[in-house]
Amino acid sequence: MIKKSAPRTQVRTQKIRGKVRLREHVMGWLFVGPFGIVFLAFLIAPLAYALYLSLFQKKLIGGTSFVFLDNYVKAFTDPSFLSGAWFVIRFSLVSIPLQIIVALAMALILDAITSRFVRFSRLMIFLPYAIPTVIGAVMWGFLYSKSFGPLTDIFGLFGATAPDFLSSNLIFYGLVNVVTWQWAGYYMIILYAALQGIDPTLYEAARMDGAGAWQVALRIKIPLIASALLLILVFSLIGTLQFFNEPQILRSLAAGTIGPDFTPNMYAYQQAFSLANFNYGSAISFALGGIVFVGVYAFLFFTRKRRSFL
Amino acid sequence: MSDRSRAGARRRPQRHLPLQVLLGFLVVYFLVPFWWVIVNSSKDAPGLFGGGNTLWFAERIDYLGNLEQLFAYDNGIYGRWILNSTLYALAGGVGATILAVMAGYGFAKYRFAARRFSFSLVLGALMVPATALVIPTFMMFSEFGLTNTIWAVILPSLLNPFGVYLMHVYARDAVPDEILDAARADGAGEVRTFLQVAFPLMRPAVVTVLLLSAVASWNNYFLPLAMLSDNRLFPVTVGLGLWQGIASANNAGSTSLWSLIIMGALVSVVPLVIAFFTLQRHWRGGLSVGGLR
């Protein structure tokens, strides 16, 4: 009662501020909303639907019935799914370190020396990124081919028989090579961009302290681009675990080497589209997506911990 | 090309011959598949299978003949595939970019309800493998009768969480709040402020996101493979995959198809290679934004 007149202006500004706040909420959602709709429609809804579908089974007799987690139990005891999962894990363990080491080495070289040839190389090494993975696989399929690939000729020069990268012994390395060719240049560009962002006076200081080029690379450059390295590690992990395009394309050339259950994704595709077994296909997709998500999330969590620890 | 001035400043170790030689080998490795395709798309079937040098031209060099055959085969289906790929890349790329630019700006510049939660959802979406969504999206679309239409390919490619993330980072750093407030004080509405003040400042990142999402749509294989059954709707990736399957299935009978596939691979690669060379400046700037965070 006594203070009635004093806070009047304050009330008004509060009202205005409230209006501004409301406006900010509305405008914010108007800008984010359209993406939000797409996000709900093409990410959240399919994930929810996949989860829903994966809880049912379609039987010849009795129609579709709710089976709860049976499809997942089936998947994790299905030798096809397990061998595919084991393959992509082994493949990740070999191909990802290889790609990152190659990319890092190239980025360090390109960062350390400058010449017209170096600039040209940078562009040429990046070029495979512009090629669809399918076309890349088709091209390497030609090169591996016995009937018109060059390997027979090249090894013939030395009197040796050419390795057959489409045979079941070597298909693993054949695919490692295709993937490295396709992605190392892209990772190189990301690392190179990060290296170019480092303040060059750091190198001067290190040199004053007597550090050689190797030490500068190992002690300064690599630690400073750790976050870019982490980024490409995560991207390559997500990409490799859902491996599909390259083996699917090489499959027709390597008859008998690559089965329809070669990777989990190929198996899900086969279940859904060749066998019309959408419930089981959804379960495999969802299980794979879940493994990737949890794996990457855990990885990021642990590296973040460790990094803040250092 | 901001690195040019800096390169001048640190131009100390110039030659490093062994490293340059090593680079030379790497360049050869990365170019061999291109070289093989360029050489072999000049050959006809006898030249391909005649046992000549596979890394050099045959006596008959017939690019035009092969091109003509490529575009004539099956009533010019290949030309259609290229047009389809272009349509999917443009529609998906432009659409995804518009959504990503708006959302990134919204996340960076407005403190609205549930902002932090929504943004963490977007970050989480970066870790969801795209192919895990294909089968359920197919099932959803088949309920609405959308499978085997162009929308089945275009609509899902509008989703680009990485683009939103890039635009968010860029808008946060490159668009100062003071400029926006000044524009508002001058009486510009929120939409005008966005279009005329913020957007020009965000342009480099916009071009990058546009390029990245257009390339992603152009390269897409799993989604159209699952969604489309009419081969007149195929993008060039699915089309060439189909031809390759046919050609390897009946080894001897389809030798002429192989020269079409090789020529087709070459033609399909040309537009993007040209785009990458001419737009170098743009993607490089944007990739550094993504790489530094």
Interface membership of B284 toward A (CB under 8 Å)? yes
Q: Is residue B46 part of a domain?
A: no
Q: In terms of domains, do A218 and A132 share one?
A: yes
Mean pLDDT over A284-309 rounds to 74
Q: What is the pLDDT of residue B9?
A: 45
Could you tell me if A34 and A178 lie in one domain?
Answer: no
Same domain, A49 and A74: no
d(CA B44, nearest CA chain A) in Å: 12
Average pLDDT of chain A, as a whole number: 83
Q: Is the pLDDT of residue B48 over 80?
A: no
Residue A62: inside a domain, yes or no? no
pLDDT digits (tens, 9 = 90+) for B78-110: 999 999 999 999 999 999 999 999 999 999 888
**3-state helix vs strand vs coil in chain B, percent to 5:** 75, 0, 25
pLDDT(B67) > 60: yes
Kindly state whether A29 is in contact with chain B, defined as any CB-CB distance less than 8 angstroms: yes
How far does A77 lie from chain B, in Å, by closest CA? Answer: 20
In a domain, B119, yes or no: yes
pLDDT for res B93: 92
- DSSP lists the bridge partners of residue A66 as A56
- Within-domain flag for A138: yes
Q: Residue B289: pLDDT band by 50, 70, 90 thresholds? A: low
Same domain, A158 and A25: no
pLDDT tens-place string over residues A54-80: 888 877 666 777 877 888 888 888 888
List chain B residues with CB under 8 Å of A266.
none
Lowest mean pLDDT among A5-14, A118-127, B188-197: A5-14
Query: Are residue A43 and residue A166 in the same domain, yes or no?
Result: no
- pLDDT > 80? residue B253: no
Q: What is the CATH number of the domain that holds A226?
A: 1.10.3720.10
Residue B185: which domain range? 63-292
- Enumerate the residues of chain A whose CB falls inside 8 A of the CB of residue B287: 189-190, 193
Q: A275 and A176 in one domain?
A: yes
CB–CB contacts below 8 A, A to B: 292
A281-298 as b/e: b if 16+ CB within 10 A: bbbbbbbbbbbbbebbee
Considering the domain boundaries, does residue B93 fall inside one? yes
* Confidence (pTM): 0.84
- Residue A271 within any structural domain of the chain: yes
A15/A97 same-domain check? no
pLDDT class of A202 with cuts at 50, 70, 90? confident
Its ipTM equals 0.83
Kindly give, in sequence order, each residue whose CB lies less than 8 Å from that of residue A295, ignoring residues fewer than 6 positions away.
A237, A241
CB contact A16 to B (< 8 Å): no
The answer to whether residue B286 is domain-embedded is yes
Q: The CATH number of the domain where B181 resides is what?
A: 1.10.3720.10
Q: Which chain A residues are Cβ-neighbours of B280 within 8 angstroms?
A: 123
Q: Which residue of B has its CA nearest to A213?
A: B13
Looking at the complex, does the CB of residue A75 fall below 8 Å from at least one CB of chain B?
Answer: no
Write the DSSP assignment of chain A as a string of letters.
Answer: -TTSSTTHHHHHHHHHHHHHHHHHHHHHHHHHHHHHHHHIIIIIHHHHHHHHHTTEEEETTTEEEE-TTHHHHHHHT-HHHHHHHHHHHHHHHHHHHHHHHHHHHHHHHHHH---HHHHHHHHHHHGGGGS-HHHHHHHHHHHH-TTT-SHHHHHHHTT-PPP-TTSTTTHHHHHHHHHHHHHHHHHHHHHHHHHHTS-THHHHHHHHTT--HHHIIIIIIHHHTHHHHHHHHHHHHHHHHT--HHHHHHHHHSTTTS-TTSSHHHHHHIIIIIS--HHHHHHHHHHHHHHHHHHHHHHHHHHHHHHHH-
Q: Check CB contact of B35 with chain A, cutoff 8 Å.
A: no
Q: Which residue range is the domain that position A19 belongs to?
A: 8-53
Q: Which residue has the higher pLDDT, A22 or A43?
A: A43
Residues A84 and A13 in one domain: no
Does B78 map to a domain? yes
Q: Is residue A60 part of a domain?
A: no
**Contact call for A194 and B292, based on CB within 8 A:** yes
Per the domain annotation, does B8 fall within a domain?
no
Q: Could you tell me if residue B5 is inside a domain? A: no
User: What are the chain A neighbours of B36 within 8 Å (beta carbons)?
Assistant: 139, 142-143, 150
Same domain, A155 and A299: yes
Q: What is the mean pLDDT of residues B137-154?
A: 91
Q: How many domains are there within chain A? A: 2
Residues A13, A131: one domain?
no
What's the CA gap between A227 and A223, in Å, rounded? 9
Amino acid letter, residue A201? T
Residue A308 pLDDT greater than 50, yes or no = no
- Cβ A224 vs Cβ A203: under 8 Å: no
Q: How many domains does chain B have?
A: 1
* Chain A residues 40-59 with CB within 8 Å of chain B: 41-43, 45-47, 49-50, 53
